[in-house]
Amino acid sequence: MQLPRSPDAAAGLRTGRMPIAQHARETIRLAAPLAIAQIAQIAMAATDTILLGRLSSDALAAGGLGGNLYFTLNIMLGGIASACAVLVSQARGAGIEARVPIVYWSTLILSLLLAIPSFAILSSVGPLLTLLGEPPTLVANLERYLSVLRWGAPATMIAIGLMRSFLPAIEKPHLITIVSLSAVGLNGLLNYALIYGAWGFPRLELIGSATATLVTILCQATALLLIVHGKATTSRWVRPVRAQLAIVWELLRVGLPIAVTYGVELALFLAAGLMIALFGTYASAAHQMVLNVASVMFMVPFSIGNAANVRVGYWIGAGNGEEARRAGFVATAIGTAFMSCSALFLLVVPRSVVSIYLDLADPANAQTVATALSLLVFAALFQVADGVQVIAFGALRGLKDTKVPMLLAAVGYWGIGFAVAWLLAFRTDWGPPGIWAGLGLGLGVVAVAMLWRFARETRPTSPTLARAIAQARSAT
């Protein structure tokens, strides 16, 4: 059976070994558009924050928290649908083209179903925050903001859960980039118009920002659906077929541990923020700045991890365990190189980084600047670990190995990272830097564990590798 792959990939399969350089090119070709799309998502959030900040501090607090809650929740739930990537890539590697549309429609249905718990949780955030003692003004504004934005849950699940997994798996990641970059401009214009009442639009202030973001999300999902179903090069992969319950269960089996792993890591950084807030507003501000810098840099290895997921899954489907192993290690090497450069950047010009956020010459910022500089040191030191762990996890997903990595992440992040962070911060005089040191240690442990597991499970004698290949090639 003719396999649907590029000429270079086909040549590599026939000879039994693809050149390392070709592995690197294929990985970068998939990862680069995804990284740009992820950074575009951050740019949208930054635009909302800047425009709301000029309106009022109350609007900024509610909009910032509401946006973070919305996208964090949907990214976690989207982790379940992200299992689509490995199912599609394995099917393409095995040459089972008829399976790809079935996976697509099954994932689309699952994504829409996942929007239900998202909507329900976003509708009940207000009472929960009231129980936690949050200020009534913040709770009221947050409820108003989310009462609008929650209606975007189905579209977000399609754009994030389905399309950001499916399109890389059929080698069309650039479509995500085009739509995401267009959304940044649309979101900015709509936010400005609806927040401040510009160009004849009504002045809706906080609700205007939520409405603008909702419209942008709906446009993103609609554009992606129209492009995928309308282009000849993609429509063949999504031709109308009946979804299969067995595929939905497979997506849940593989995807639920992915969602939990995302949640475990996100919760760790949330807990770190809450601990640092106990040291005062200066520490909290420094933490948010450094976390923002680290988050932007993290988008590159995160995208490389998604590319590794697709490439490892593809070679598993093709029945070539050696190339699957090489694809994973090449992706890890690329990520390590990038994060080493980002670490060096943070260590060499930390004051320049902080100056993006604060006026270094203002005496009122002195304590915040000093804390941010100390946190940047630890952020730089765990850059490589952060990159390795997310890429290795992506490579393991290509084997459909997600349950054990989930446990490794939980133990590393919370059993080691959180525990050490708490001890260093509150049982020594390290303070906020101790929390980041604990985070770095947890990430380092998880990175070693994930990479060790990938190396172990891709050995020629590994039962996991043999089982993954057999399952992928026997799928109908």
Query: DSSP letter string over 400-455?
Result: T--HHHHHHHHIIIIIIIIHHHHHHHHSSS--HHHHHHHHHHHHHHHHHHHHHHHH
Residue 452 and residue 445: Cα distance in Å, rounded? 11
The pLDDT value given to residue 459: 95
pTM given for the model: 0.91
Closest by Cα among 131, 138, 157 to 251: 157
The pLDDT value given to residue 16: 59
The pLDDT value given to residue 475: 67
Query: DSSP letter string over 336-349?
Result: HHHHHHHHHHHHHS
Residue 196 and residue 190: Cα distance in Å, rounded? 10
> Domain limits of the chain?
28-243, 256-476
CA angle 64, 335, 438 (to 5 degrees): 60
The pLDDT value given to residue 355: 87
Residue 400 and residue 250: Cα distance in Å, rounded? 10
Instruction: List, in sequence order, the alpha helices (H) in 150-231.
Output: 153-156, 164-169, 174-196, 205-230
Residue 311 and residue 391: Cα distance in Å, rounded? 12
Residues 374, 425 contacting (CB under 8 angstroms):
no
For residue 272, what are its two tokens? 């770190």
Residue 307 and residue 312: Cα distance in Å, rounded? 8
CA 136 to chain centre: 32
Residues 386, 298 contacting (CB under 8 angstroms):
yes
Closest by Cα among 303, 433, 286, 302 to 358: 286
Residues 408, 395 contacting (CB under 8 angstroms):
no
- pLDDT in 10s for each residue of the chain, 476 residues: 333 444 344 444 434 588 999 999 999 999 999 999 999 988 898 888 888 888 887 888 888 888 888 988 999 999 999 999 999 999 999 999 999 999 999 999 999 999 999 999 999 988 888 887 778 888 899 999 999 999 999 999 999 899 999 999 999 999 999 999 999 999 999 999 999 999 999 999 999 999 999 999 999 999 999 999 999 899 999 999 999 999 999 999 999 999 999 999 888 988 888 888 888 878 888 887 888 888 889 999 999 999 999 999 999 999 999 999 999 999 999 999 999 999 999 999 999 988 887 788 888 888 888 998 999 999 998 899 999 999 999 999 999 999 999 999 999 999 999 999 999 999 998 999 999 999 999 999 999 999 999 999 999 999 999 999 998 888 64
CA 305 to chain centre: 10
The pLDDT value given to residue 12: 44
Residues 157, 118 contacting (CB under 8 angstroms):
yes
Task: Provide the total of helices (H) and of strands (E) in the chain, helices listed first.
Answer: 22, 0
How many C-beta atoms surround the C-beta of residue 122 within 10 A? Answer: 24
Residues 6+ apart with CB under 8 A from 236: none
Residue 369 and residue 363: Cα distance in Å, rounded? 10
The pLDDT value given to residue 473: 81
CA angle 101, 221, 97 (to 5 degrees): 15
The maximal CA–CA distance of the chain, rounded, in angstroms, is 70
The pLDDT value given to residue 136: 87
Look up residue 60 and give its amino acid.
Answer: L
The pLDDT value given to residue 282: 82
Residues 74, 208 contacting (CB under 8 angstroms):
no
